[in-house]
Amino acid sequence: MTKTGIFYGPIGGNTEKVAKKIHEYLPEAGFHSVPESGVSEMLKYDNLILGIATIGQETWSQDVRKSGWNTILPQLKETDFTGKTIALFGLGDSVAYDLHFVDAMGILAKLMREKGGTLIGFTETKGYTFRESQAIENEKFMGLPIDEDFEEDKTDERIAQWINEIKNKM
């Protein structure tokens, strides 16, 4: 396996919890929070596993420094990720935010593809309850959606299946 790095934000919540679970399956992978490590650290890896929460405006707002992703967004937009294999996981609330379920994962996925990255780890929408999501392409999620608020009992199985799929492509 080539060099893999796991990057997640925000720190201290469900996204970090899920990132740690993913890291248990890939203990050889680097493990980093955003913004404590930046884009330059990402470029050290061939494979990137990126985790982001859809927490509304705070995810991308320059006025709120909560998630970390917003602090590196300008750098992401200026960086070439050609040659990088990228898998994403996104945290969302499928009940309260069923019209925006894991939107941030889709926004980040599209940006990473636009900047040359190769996306892997698409997930079937079957088994998820939501109304709309910016993270869907060709009837699949552009990564692994996780709802720790209402579907926590499904998280471990979803991670295990997803890791088996992406390991074969990294």
CATH number at residue 92: 3.40.50.360
Picking from 45, 117, 46, 37, the residue whose alpha carbon sits closest to that of residue 77 is 117
Residue 33's pLDDT is: 94
Residue 35's pLDDT is: 78
Residue 67's pLDDT is: 56
Task: Please check whether residue 66 is in contact with residue 55, taking contact to mean a CB–CB distance below 8 angstroms.
Answer: yes
For the chain (length 170 residues), average pLDDT per consecutive 10?
86 92 97 91 97 65 59 92 97 89 95 98 95 95 96 97 95
pTM for the whole thing? 0.92
Residue 57's pLDDT is: 44
Picking from 20, 38, 28, the residue whose alpha carbon sits closest to that of residue 91 is 20
Residue 127's pLDDT is: 93
For the chain, what's the residue count? 170
Domain containing 150 equals 4-167
Picking from 10, 6, 87, the residue whose alpha carbon sits closest to that of residue 45 is 6
Q: How many domains does one find in the chain?
A: 1
Residue 12's pLDDT is: 83
Q: In this structure, what are the phi and psi dihedrals at residue 165, rounded to the nearest 5 degrees? A: -70, -50
